[in-house]
Amino acid sequence: MTRKVVLAGGEVIMALMLVFLLISTGRSVTKAQSPDTVNIPTDYLPVTVDPAIARDNLILFWDTVALDAIRAEPPGPPRVARILAMVHTAQFEAWSQYDATAVGTLLGSRFRRPPAERTLENKNIAVSYAAYRVLFDLFPKRARTFDSKMADVLHYDPALVTTDPSTAAGIGNLAGAVVLFYRRDDGSNQMGGYKDTTGYQPVNTPDAVLDLNRWQPLHTVGNQQGHCVSVGNLITQTYIAPGWGNVTPFALNDGAEITTTSGPFLYPSPEFTAQAEEVISYSANLDDWGKALSQYWADGPSSEFPPGHWALFSQFVSFRDAHGLDEDAKLFFAVNNSSLDAGIVAWKIKRVYDSVRPITAIRELFKGQEIVAWGGAYSGTQTILGQNWKPYQTDCFVTPAFAEFVSGHSTFSAAAAAVLRAYTGSDAFGAYDIYRAAASPVEPNDAPTRSVLLKWETFTQAADEAGLSRRYGGIHFVQADVQGRDVGKRVGERVWQKALGFFEGSAPPVADMNEAIEELLLRDDVYQSLYPQRGVYLPYVKGSKTAGQWSNGSVIDLLSRWLTTALLPADEPAHR
């Protein structure tokens, strides 16, 4: 016999959740309202930045190149944060040597250039070589793409391997290399293919829940972990980056330095059941706005993930406030290091609690009972059995492959928002985006039934909406969202204070890299310093058939390398 649980009204449940929320955070909560989808306020700007604008600012240019690489080879949220932090730290490192005050996180002011050399042209060259070196290392399969960006778009020679600090290319190569050397032993296990070194094993299996408080790996359809493809079979989820909480942060001593004020609600308890009922209520009452909200912020397969989403918001701020390279070298350094530390802290907390996702909790709590909820793609709200409940997500990415508490979206977003508030001196955002009708990947060509305007008056509002979206999408409980917002805000504030020290020239280097720097200077060949076992790299340049690959250093290959350089466009000026 089944028992029907009706939650369409949700008044009692929402009241209970409001009490729990107030107890846990001391904050008031306002129920989100569907915004007007027709009238765009005149004081709001579209959040998407014209690529042509990004092309003229080489911080934005390389940010865009990095985001494209992330979308093409999805690495998972915490790795995305590390990638962007490394790219923009390398650029900041290079830029700082051309600034009168700022110091690098690893180079300090050791190679500060004289005033006459502090030109935009030199800064452009230096930040480009820095970003190129980092991306080349992190995405080796995309080396030809990065070579082409350097040679065919910017007209810089990717074969220029000097580490001579009297040249802009040398400064950039030094900056990129020193960041790479520093991060090789940061606990991410990049050199070991990012494989887990902690020995994590889930308590539950896809077929049996032994502990309803713990994360359960799922069988998913047509998926390769991290992105959706049509392979026609089932895979079992593997926990993404279970040891990421041990990665070296930027501003914190370790991933445990900042944590939540309370943990997740535990089974059995009224709070545990109430949080599950709240998620069911969201599901039962999904409208166009709720569907658009959940998918706009989903940031899953083939996207830039939450850290990249806030990098795009930073591009908007750059455009809105008419930034140049000097401003953005600092802004993107701070924002992306806040994402780095937010990911480390969130993943540390996730491992501490190893907490259950809504999909497992709801299916177990309401097994054999009828509930009113979203019935699946194109089905709308239905009466279904609890064990058949699913989040408003695609079947191939039905829920993320890591523990629930805390919310990564909430933590990443609150951290980045805190830095943006501090950098701009205001919480004012003034951006909007439009989620187009029928664009939902969950219900293609059907949902939402109309285009939905998403607008954010403040950075805080945008960050809170990102967290809320995961509750609408059936991915998180309220406690994970609210605690994530609090943790992320504290992380962002710490990162900003740390970054200020480097902007103002008062912070010491985060590590002693003198040995690596001396070796780089001695070799005067960044490739040979970073990859001594690989031989000579022949960068790809348009028109070359032999470039974009490693060689064994033979005379023929070296001649080919020389020809590659000779093929650089001579009739167009270098990027200014």
The yes-or-no verdict on residue 220 having pLDDT over 90 is no
CA pair distance 214, 176, nearest whole angstrom: 41
Question: pLDDT of 152-173, one tens digit each?
Answer: 999 999 999 999 999 999 999 9
Domain 4-50+205-215+251-503 has CATH 1.10.606.20: yes
pLDDT at 534: 79
Distance of CA 5 to the CA centre of its chain: 38
The rounded mean pLDDT for the chain is: 89
Please check whether residue 251 is in contact with residue 497, taking contact to mean a CB–CB distance below 8 angstroms. yes
pLDDT surpasses 90 at 229: no
Phi, psi (degrees; rounded to nearest 5) at 344: -65, -45
Distance between CA atoms of residues 448 and 427, nearest Å: 30
For range 121-134, the mean pLDDT: 98
pLDDT at 26: 37
pLDDT at 230: 58
**How many other β-carbons are positioned within 10 Å of the β-carbon of residue 353?**
19
3-class secondary structure per residue, 403-422: CCCCCHHHHHHHHHHHHHHH
Reference 149, options 158, 161, 159; nearest CA is 158
Question: Which residues does residue 355 pair with via DSSP β-bridges, in sequence order?
Answer: 214
φ, ψ of residue 538 to 5 degrees: the values are -105, 100
pLDDT at res. 424: 98
Write the DSSP symbol of residue 208. B
Query: Confidence band (pLDDT; 50, 70, 90) for 85?
Result: very high
Comma-separated ranges of CATH 1.10.606.20 domains in the chain: 4-50+205-215+251-503
pLDDT in tens, 305-326: 999 999 999 999 999 999 999 9
If you average pLDDT over residues 466-470, what whole number do you get? Answer: 98
* pLDDT score of 536: 72
What is the pLDDT, as a whole number, of residue 539?
84
pLDDT score of 52: 77
What's the pLDDT band for 572 if we cut at 50, 70, 90?
A: very low
Q: Which of 37-46, 223-232, 242-251, 410-419 is predicted least confidently? A: 223-232
Q: Find the mean pLDDT for residues 447-473.
A: 97
Percent of the chain with pLDDT over 70: 85
Q: How far apart (Å, rounded) are the C-alpha atoms in residues 229 and 384?
A: 28
What confidence category does residue 36 fall into, taking pLDDT thresholds of 50, 70 and 90?
very low
- What backbone phi and psi angles, to 5 degrees, belong to 434? -120, 120
Give dist(CA 126, CA 128) in Å, integer: 5
Q: How far lies 167's CA from each of 164, 255, 519, 566, 575, in Å?
A: 6, 38, 18, 20, 16
| pLDDT score for 35 | 44
Using 50, 70 and 90 to split pLDDT, how confident is the model at 537?
confident
The answer to whether 507 touches 449, Cβ cutoff 8 Å, is: no
> For 341-398, what is each residue's pLDDT tens digit?
999 999 999 999 999 999 999 999 999 999 999 999 999 999 999 999 999 999 888 9
| pLDDT higher than threshold 70 for residue 77 | yes
Sign of CA dihedral 475, 481, 487, 493: positive
